[in-house]
Chains A and B, each alone.
Chain A
Amino acid sequence: MDRKQFFQSLRNPSSSDQFAVNEVDETLQKDEEINGNIGLQRRTNTGISAYKGSFGKSELMHLLRRTLFGVKVSDYNLYKGKTLEQVVDALLNVPSAMPNPPINNYGNLVNDPNVPYGSTWVNAPLDPAVEPNRKNSVKSWLWSLMVTQTPDIQAKMVLFWHNHFALQFLEIPDSRACYVYTKVLYTHALGNFKDLTRAITIDPAMLFYLNGRLNTKKAPDENYARELQELFTLGKGPNSKFTEDDVKAMAKVLTGWSINPLTNPFSTAFVSVNHDSTDKQFSSFYGNTVIKGQTGINAGNTELDDLLTMIFKVDEVALFICRKLYEYFVYYEIDDTVETNVIVPLAKVFRDSGYSIKTVLKTLLMSEHFFDSWNRACVIKDPITQQAGFCREMELKFPSSTDYFLLYQMYQMGMAFGQLTQLNIGDPPNVAGWPAWYQKPLFHRSWINSDTLPKRNQFTDYLLFIGHKVGTYTMIVDPWIFVKQLSNPGKADDLIADCTSHLLPMSLSATQIASLKEVLLPGGIPDYNWSDEYRAATDPSDPNYATALSTATVKLKYLLKSIMNLSEYQLS
């Protein structure tokens, strides 16, 4: 058996009935074989037309799994019975108010003379003595935004933009700038992409991170000008043909932007004497555009607007962003068929809408392609989706919001586990973001290796069995919160079916189901044993209540552990 056969033997097309495919392209199948690619043998031709099929539990769960960090039973109940369009509109209708800002959670350890314990420091002056504490506070807070999300797409989009307009908090000397940056992502998460790009270009943290603040007419610094094109708008695909001279000319357009450290919260300043007011010539890729050199206090704004107008005229911008959205929400593999049937028309929608993020997402999330069974369950969860998602699914109870220190300690635990499994929120590895969202050929698979996969299991096991202890407080999963919301948890088969259909994106084999049942009912003992145990454990008047509760709790935890340790649990 050669390797190809070996890999194919891991699969069995005949067992794929729950993955029925809308259409199959035989030509592509042949190409695959000729090229010796062990990849997929079938393709789908679906495009961005609105999905007209049935919208039942599995479709709703698919939509919610991809747009939320884990699905609570209550999230599902909230949207159950609504039409696809109603659900998508609700998911995209995000709160306009920013969540509460990060606070002084360190007042019991170190005194911040300007900020009372429990109050926010985002408008207080910089204080180097407490800056490391604030950095920790803002990073923990950023993780908390994911785990305390409202049931809409905003948090997921904030992470998308954080990965797209990536910068590293640890490189930013003032945590207030990290907050301002996050606020920009929040405010524009579903707004206009061009506006977002403009706001990020002159965001103080970004001016710091990519040296925009040092970019002056005497000493142009190309760092931001390069990434603005390569990573933020055009990408580095074969049709993104900006030149090295374009990088240099763009750096000149952006000269003079700086940070005003005196305002509070501090803001961006434009220093016109540092601005290069010569005309800037761009290459034929930009239609030989000349950006007229400007002088005076509005020079920076005028030239930046001209610059963005020039960049956003290039078709590649919408194509690039649509590919990234696709890789984030659908799957990482974009073949020619997907490019033609999905990316190209989606990019046109994006362009025609004047770069409205909400419009492009609505089209994608309502498309027949998104609901194609071919595209279900194939996204490997990023660490936040796996970890914050687990906390949400289990409705893990965090400490009270008035116990500032304790609450943030718990957020910090979540943030730290993310870091151990490759997603250190606030601090992507570099300006390109996380490799799982751009690095060919592994993409999402790069989240998973011999180091991170065990740690993912450790996270769920830890919170199920040991709990995170701070002082005398232990934050631990209470399995009953989840289980009691299921339809018939006293019946073993129903309990297993409801747990797996809610927590896993695909059906299990009969063997796998049997091994889960073995957890509840070891040695093949009859089902009524669980029913009796469950009844006693949920009835305080039962004489065996205490012992039954203890036994059933352990059994439920092992059942949940067994489900979460399945490879299937890593998929969304």
Chain B
Amino acid sequence: MKRRSFVKATAAAGTVLPLALNGMGVKTYEDSPLLRSLGRRTADGKVLVIINLSGGNDGLNTLIPLDQYSNLSKARNNILIPDNKVLSFWDKPSVGLHPQLGGLRDLYNNGQLSAIQAVGYPNPNYSHFRAADIWMSGSDSNESWTTGWMGRYLDGTYTGYPKGYPTATMPDPLAIEIGQMVSLAFMGPEVNMGMAITDPTTFYNLASGTTDPTPNTPAGNELAFLRLMAQQTNQYATVIKNAAAKGVNKSTKYPTGGRQPLSDQLKIVAKLISGGLKTPVYMVSIGGFDTHSEQVDSSDHSLGSHGNLMKQLGDAIAAFQDDLKLLGLEDRVVGMTFSEFGRRVISNASNGTDHGAAAPMFVFGKAVQNGVIGANPTIPSTVTVNDNVPMQYDFRQVYASVLTDWFELPAADVKVAMGGKEFNTLPIFKANKASIDDYIDLVSRISLNRIFPNPAVSHTQIEYFTESGNVKISLFDAMGQLVRILKDDWHGHGTYVVDLDVVGLRSGNYYVQLSQGDKRITEVLLVQ
């Protein structure tokens, strides 16, 4: 049986089952948490909420590597978060959250937060617009794609859209973005799969579109697009209005409306889900992360513009998660944050930070494996303006994990959604076979014993240990660009030494990265 047929069969069984159990009507079935959970064994009904932190979030002040604190204090003293204010994790004292992210820390304490360290991609781009396109489309750094990762996923799952939609099994929009825009992330091969709404309760009836043919010219093309938009808006307006009318919010933790856009947006999402909308993907966004100047309050570094954003983020997610729990929807919804890049390791003189490379991502919900995936970024002792956090994980590994372990998409379909590329999943979800502990306990499998001499003038040696398996040693420059691969082959159990000739390399900080599968260890090498 194909997955989709199976899903349909299960869904049909679900609607019969409650009647057989106690004679409850369909309406009651929808409102009963017990029965709702019975009907929810498949990917259908699962929801992903993507939170876009627009502008480039300062990862080093978000998920703070406390074991690097002294080097961090040298690199960014004017924006440094006092270590006694950092909200460290109860089981992981070496890393903690921004003081205003209490909402996320509570989620961690409830076992509902997965933090993934230093997510990026090879050869990072420092332009907001290119970088955002890369994150939305899922392309490599040097590619320019016109479809989005979610658009390709939805196109593969809801084949033929928009022809024939809405259908009986998918009567609702495939994706909803709260706001006036629909992102590149939802762009399918031919149409955007997303629908933008600002207020789900009010819609304006559009003139019914004519079916007259349009000419085969640019004007005709645009006209066909306009008519399609009018038609879709009318089709979906009713289902959204109904869901908004039927849906409720139960949490009292949302801040007062109209002041915190992210919280307002997530509140709408919770209401629409509770109102029965079958839409599998939502996107919400919050701007202001481009903190080139005055990102902290000079008298208290935990406050200021970035602190404000952190508070809005943490509070909004906490209220949303509380709402989902009270609504009995916790099992069905996960959230994921992303930002187009992190920021430079070193701060600037304007009490801010310039565009950078890798940064942490958060995935939250009842379905996640609680914990921190990956090691703290290594902060060099002398940091120049060029230094960036090198990536540990590719952002598309996170996407692939969502599709594989949350939406239960077969590997071949994941590959299609990823534009034909394959990415290893990470233990973000409980459904993943790997345990998060495998990623934390690195030392037992591989270790970087020493780099000597360091600083290096003409050459240096890297000594490492590994259990048997494939080992890769890569050299990145401070900007996060891959410079050289020193080793990439199978090793037996033992200690090894590899030579590195540094003649011809520009002086500055480099990162030596030892990896086995997705386990990675990074050390700084200074070339003089």
Give the distance to chain A from B460, nearest Cβ to Cβ, in Å.
25
Contact of A439 among B126, B180, B184, B198 (CB under 8 A): B184
- A residues whose Cβ falls under 8 Å from a Cβ of B: 1-4, 6-13, 15-16, 18-19, 21, 38-42, 210-211, 214, 216, 218-223, 226, 230, 236, 244, 247-248, 331, 333, 373-380, 420-422, 429-432, 435, 438-442, 444-446, 448-455, 457-458, 505-506, 509, 511-512, 515, 562, 565-568, 570-571
B226 in complex: contacting residue of A218, A222, A570, CB < 8 Å: A570
B479 touches A509 (CB 8 A): no
Q: Which 3 A-B pairs have the closest CB atoms?
A: A219-B349, A12-B213, A16-B215
- A-B contacts, 13 of them at CB < 8 A, read A2-B160, A11-B216, A12-B214, A40-B216, A216-B349, A230-B127, A331-B218, A377-B219, A449-B229, A450-B195, A450-B232, A452-B196, A566-B207
Task: Please report whether the interface of chain B is mostly helix, strand, loop or mixed according to DSSP.
Answer: loop
- Taking a contact as CB atoms under 8 Å apart, the answer to whether B210 and A509 are in contact is yes
Within the assembled complex, what's the spacing in Å between the Cα atoms of A506 and B198? 32
**A448 proximity list for chain B (CB < 8 A):** 225-226, 229
| A505 contacts across to B, CB distance below 8 A | 219
Instruction: Please name the residue on chain B nearest to A379 by beta carbon.
Output: B222
Chain A residues lying within 8 Å of B214, measured Cβ to Cβ, are 10-12, 15
B206 & A453 in contact (Cβ 8 Å cutoff): yes
Instruction: Indicate if B325 sits at the interface (CB-CB under 8 A).
Output: no
Residues of A near B180 (CB, < 8 A) are 420-422, 449, 451-452
The one of A2, A16, A221, A376 in contact with B293, judged by C-beta atoms closer than 8 angstroms, is: A221
B197 and A451 contacting across the interface, CB-CB below 8 Å:
yes
Question: Given A448-B225, A511-B212, 11 more contacts at CB 8 Å?
Answer: A11-B214, A18-B215, A218-B349, A221-B350, A236-B130, A374-B217, A432-B129, A452-B196, A506-B223, A515-B210, A567-B223
Contact across chains for B219 and A450 when beta carbons are under 8 A apart? no
Judge if B255 is at the interface, Cβ distance under 8 Å: no
Question: What residues of chain A lie closer than 8 Å to B488, measured between beta carbons?
Answer: none
A498-B187 Cα distance, complex, nearest whole Å: 39
Distance between Cα atoms of A318 and B190 in the complex (Å): 32
A449: nearest chain-B partner, CB-CB: B196
CB-defined contacts of A506 to chain B, threshold 8 Å = 219, 223
Contact A512 B187 (CB under 8 A): no
Smallest CB gap from B227: residue in A? A567
A4 to B306, CA, bound (A): 47
Q: Give the interface centre of A18, A448, A450, A512 by most chain B CB atoms within 10 Å.
A: A450
Enumerate B207-241 residues with CB–CB distance to A below 8 Å.
207, 209-210, 212-230, 232-233, 236-237
B218 and A378 contacting across the interface, CB-CB below 8 Å: yes
Q: Please name the residue on chain B nearest to A331 by beta carbon.
A: B218
Contact indicator B218/A512 (Cβ below 8 Å): no
* Partner among A18, A218, A442 whose Cβ is within 8 Å of the Cβ of B187: A442
Chain B: interface size category:
35 or more
Output the nearest chain A residue to B136 by Cβ-Cβ distance: A439
Instruction: Identify which of B126, B192, B206, B214 gathers the most chain A CB atoms within 10 Å of its CB.
Output: B214
Q: Bound complex: CA of A299 vs CA of B212, how far in Å?
A: 65
The yes or no answer to B146 lying at the interface (CB within 8 A) is yes
Which residue of A is nearest B194, CB measured? A449
Is B385 part of the binding interface, using a Cβ–Cβ cutoff of 8 Å? yes
B269-309 to A contact mask, C-beta < 8 Å, 1/0: 00000000000000000010010110000000000000000
Shortest CB-to-CB span from A375 to chain B, Å, is 7
* Chain A residues with CB below 8 A from B182, complex form: 446, 449
> In the complex the two chains form, is A3's CB within 8 Å of B218's CB?
no
Q: A509: which of B212, B216, B229, B232 is its contact (CB, 8 Å)? A: B212
Q: Indicate the member of B160, B215, B230, B287 with the most A CB atoms within 10 Å.
A: B215
Could you tell me if A378 and B224 are in contact, using CB atoms closer than 8 angstroms?
Answer: no
> Which B346-378 residues have C-beta < 8 A from chain A?
348-350, 352, 354-355
Considering only CB atoms, which chain A residue lies closest to B78 in the complex?
A219
Chain B residue nearest to A38 in the complex (CB): B190
Q: Check B219–A457 contact: CB distance below 8 A.
A: no
Question: Is B219 within 8 A of A223, CB to CB?
Answer: no
Residues in A neighbouring B190, C-beta threshold 8 A: 3-4, 7, 38
From B204, B354, B479, A221 is in contact (CB under 8 Å) with B354
Bound Cα distance A446, B181 (Å): 7
Determine the residue in chain A with the shortest Cβ distance to B210: A512
Whether the Cβ atoms of A450 and B129 lie closer than 8 Å is no
Cβ B217 vs Cβ A40 within 8 A: yes
Does A567 contact B230, Cβ atoms closer than 8 Å?
yes
